[in-house]
Amino acid sequence: MGTVEIGLLYGGATLVALFAGLPIAFALGAVAVVFMYFFMPAASLDTVTQNVYEEMASITMLTIPLFILKGAAIGRSRAGSDLYSALHVWMGRVPGGLGVANVFACALFAAMAGSSPATCSAIGSAGIPEMRRRGYSPGFAAGIIAAGGTLGILLPPSITLILYAVAAEQSLGRLFLAGIGPGVLMVVLFAIYAVVRYRQEKAAATAAYAQGGTWSELLRTDTFTARERFAAIPRVLPFVILLIGVMFALYGGIATPSETAGLGAVLALLMVAGIYRVWRPAQVGPILMSTLRESTMLMMIIGMSLLYSYVMSYLHISQGAAEWIVGMHLSKWVLLTAILLLVVVLGFFLPPVSIILMTAPIILPPLKAAGFDLIWFGIIMSIVMEMGLIHPPVGLNIFVIKNIAPDIPLRDVVMGVLPFVALMLVSILALCLIPGLATWLPTAVYAG
């Protein structure tokens, strides 16, 4: 049986296993082991555990459970609601300031937690009820939180960027820096949309009320005194100090990424213990259990994905696919478009972790041969995978929102996130036209 036939069989078996409802880690691992049995030397089965261990025995991988611990410590305290409340007070005079406050809260929380679902849950549990109470339409409120949560895989520290650094053999520090510019761009675009959409909804509510309709809370104006605004600052300062401390340690050359992850976890635990009095075993236990559960699940997916990629490489499936793509002699931008469309389709079914580890051996060699900067592409790919978190049929963040606000119809949630998908496409186009948005900062820092 030739490489093409084996490759098609490999892909088909993977789809069957995934659609059969098997957990992703076990589906990928089972397909890999079956193909090892039939198409590789018999002795290779004896090295399954060794291969998985060797693939995962990277110091970079150590950062993942540590960043998860930091996110769990923040997410399981009142930190999220305090951050949101403080930003709401300061954004009170901005049209749609409540929506803008939610976008900024998602961005800051994502920059510390590194997890999109955790950001959605922490900020959405306070933000969605408050926006709905103030007259925001359910779909608009849900869309802001679902899309804001996606910033968790672009702003550092991002678990997705960590895995891309491993798969693409790129500098993690450069990737973290490259994500800052595009991340800020998306925050600004989301905030502008929140203001525009608020104005539209308020104008409709004003017109309806003028024609004898019912009063809408959108017509109410909140005012906060200077004392209230300055009283809210202490709620934000711990987050700012934590974020600056971690980034200074990483980019100031004081600590490696793994050491920085440990520093962030310790600082987060100290913060929730000192400020939120989360220090008793009954309170710390859920944080540790949550970290253990999520880390185990994620590391299982990573380990099985790496085994899956190893088998793919041994059978020359990835090399053959890469050679086939190069042999098509596509122009570089057509090649990039085709690869990104593939990532979009995979995003219908798979989480970013699996997409990166499964596709990297196939798509990165042709992109490198075409002259693309792999750091820049990592940011583009991350944005595309962010889209996968909020577009149907899977859209993990959509289901997180449904869990937070089960009374909002799924159709309203989907319609609420579609404008943000369009804004992500605008961000991708901007990065293609101005690559320096992603490459300038890492070049400037590491050149110095």
Statement: residue 193 has pLDDT above 90: yes
Q: Cα–chain-centroid distance for residue 20?
A: 26
Stretch 33-41: mean pLDDT: 86
CB 267 within 8 A of CB 320: no
Statement: residue 288 has pLDDT above 70: yes
* Tens of pLDDT, residues 216-263: 666 666 677 777 777 777 777 777 777 777 777 776 777 777 787 788
Sign of the four-CA dihedral 15, 18, 24, 25:
negative
Q: What angle do CA 387, 392, 395 make, to 5 degrees?
A: 60
What is the greatest pairwise CA distance in the chain?
Answer: 80
Q: Specify the higher pLDDT residue, 253 or 363.
A: 363
Residue 115's pLDDT is: 66
Stretch 166-185: mean pLDDT: 87
% pLDDT > 70, the chain = 91
Q: Would you place residue 303 in the very low, low, confident or very high pLDDT band (cuts 50, 70, 90)?
A: confident
Statement: residue 111 has pLDDT above 80: no
Stretch 47-53: mean pLDDT: 75
- Cβ neighbors of 241 (< 8 A, separation 6 or more) are none
Report domain extents, the chain. Answer: 24-32+44-207+214-447
d(CA 97, CA 108): 16
Tokens 């093409």 -> residue? 4
Tokens (6 digits) for 297: 């699940």
pTM metric for this prediction:
0.78
The strand ranges marked E within 355-416 are none
Stretch 24-49: mean pLDDT: 82
Residue 201's pLDDT is: 83
Stretch 5-29: mean pLDDT: 82
d(CA 50, CA 310): 12
- Cβ neighbors of 46 (< 8 A, separation 6 or more) are none
Which segments of 348-409 does DSSP mark as H helices, in order? 352-369, 374-390, 396-404
Consecutive H or E run containing 288: helix 281-314
Mean model confidence pLDDT for the chain? 80
206 CB burial (10 A radius; 0-12, 13-18, 19+): middle
